[in-house]
A = this chain, B = another copy of it.
Amino acid sequence: MNPIVIIGNGISSVAAAEAFRKHDKDTPIVIFGDEPYYAYYRIRLSGLIGDTPNLDKLYIRKPEWYRDLNIKVNLNQKVISIDPDNNEITLENGNTFYFSKLLIASGSSPFVPPIQGKELAGVFSIRSMDDVITFNDFISDKTQGAVIGGGLLGLEIAWSLAKKGKKVHVIEGAPHILFKQLDETAAEILTDLGKKANINFIVQEQLNKISGKEKVTDIQLGNGETIPVEFVVFATGVRSNIDFVKNTPIQSARGIVVDEYMQTSVKDIYAAGDVAEYKGQVYGIWPVAQEQGKTAGLNMAGQKISYSEVVPSNYLKVFDVEIYSIGDLCKGDKSCATIKSHDNNVYRVVFFKENIPVGAILFGDVKPAIKISKAIKAKTKISDKIIKSQDFKGFLNECSGN
């Protein structure tokens, strides 16, 4: 019997293998990963900047786990093509491999905009363990750098650098940092905290050019400003790794198009995680990748189970403050009602559409996260009285059904 093959060894790969094995003890599972490591907590990478990574603590599952579950992991082996007609994949080393079913969980890669100077030494993007190791090595004797992109990853990187005593400039094109995860108020508080950590934020501004002879020496912004830097990190989003489905019957757009069973347009070929596009969306976040991987694994094992849509949420800890952001923040939609609660550096806001909570920001106090996320998913109706009186505590009570 040909094995099921999984391309990629991130969280969706692990979740898929685990779910598959629960229902199918016999079919061999073979994972191909292009990194030299077992699946690790990629989301923790930015926290390792300036430190020596401890692999044991980063692995999602220990090597024994794979062995015990009869999962063969091929590290350092990059898949370069898929032949859906013959159920075959080809590796970079030329070897080919048959599969009975295939999961594409090849993740995503950093997107670096086509900016002059991006090929200079000292320009980085951080996606893998090896990226961090290379980056750490480079910055060890440097004092000042720029992070391009004030999103989740950009801020985490900036914070790690600041903690190591580096002067950091964060360049963000949107009107404020964490534009997808925060509203203006929360972003303002966060910006103030970041400034205290010696981070310089430049928002609503473009990077025009990176200059230097071989090595980076400075960056030029759209407003003409020049900032001397010794390194630049791009944190400007990711793109699904879909090269190997090009010109095959496997449909893709932003990512590989999947149905509610995580099946692609080709029978027996599935996709999950950062590489998958579900209902027009590539989420690129951990909990979605995990749930999609699990769903793919179950369906590959013959269970007919639909993907239970995860309301996209992000948890973040930077500048010593915890932030949780979930769902629809009604950006540009003024018809939403809100309940806001703001007390010093604790700021909480919930967004409502027709009395149903659709999104929330918890800033400085993430305790109600689970309660609120459940209410959003359950579409729990909240009374007019609570919303009108801006009663955050009352809102939490109604979330619990009280």
Contact = CB atoms under 8 A, between A and B. Distances in A.
Interface of A: 94, 114, 239-240, 242-243, 245-255, 257, 265, 280
A82 B257 CA distance: 19
Contacts of A265: 253
Given A242-B246, A250-B253, A252-B253, 5 more contacts: A240-B247, A242-B247, A249-B280, A251-B252, A253-B265
A174 to B, nearest CB: 15
A247 B251 contact: no
A179 to B, nearest CB: 16
A376 B253 CA distance: 35
Give the oligomeric copy count: 2
A367 B257 CA distance: 46
Contacts of A249: 253-254, 280
Nearest to A240: B247
Nearest to A255: B247
A333 to B, nearest CB: 18
Contacts of A250: 253
22 contacts: A94-B114, A239-B246, A239-B247, A240-B247, A242-B246, A242-B247, A245-B253, A246-B246, A247-B254, A247-B255, A248-B254, A249-B253, A249-B254, A249-B280, A250-B253, A251-B251, A251-B252, A251-B253, A251-B257, A252-B252, A252-B253, A253-B265
A4 to B, nearest CB: 22
Contacts of A239: 246-247
A83 to B, nearest CB: 12
Nearest to A280: B249
A229 B359 CA distance: 68
Contacts of A257: 251
Nearest to A249: B253
A251 B265 CA distance: 11
A253 B277 CA distance: 14
A229 to B, nearest CB: 24
Contacts of A242: 246-247
A20 B257 CA distance: 32
Contacts of A240: 247
A247 B252 CA distance: 8
Nearest to A238: B247
Task: Give the 3 A-B residue pairs with the shortest CB-CB distance, closest first.
Answer: A251-B253, A239-B247, A249-B253
A245 B248 CA distance: 14
A132 to B, nearest CB: 24
A341 to B, nearest CB: 35
A139 to B, nearest CB: 29
Nearest to A282: B247
A265 B265 CA distance: 15
Among A239, A246, A247, A255, the one with the most B-chain Cβ atoms within 10 Å of its Cβ is A247
Contacts of A94: 114
Among A245, A246, A280, the one with the most B-chain Cβ atoms within 10 Å of its Cβ is A246
A265 B242 CA distance: 18
Nearest to A250: B253
A245 B251 CA distance: 12
A82 to B, nearest CB: 12
Nearest to A80: B114
A255 B252 CA distance: 10
A117 B326 CA distance: 54
A280 B84 CA distance: 14
A222 to B, nearest CB: 15
Contact of A253 (B248, B254, B255): B248
A254 B252 CA distance: 10
Nearest to A111: B247
A277 to B, nearest CB: 9
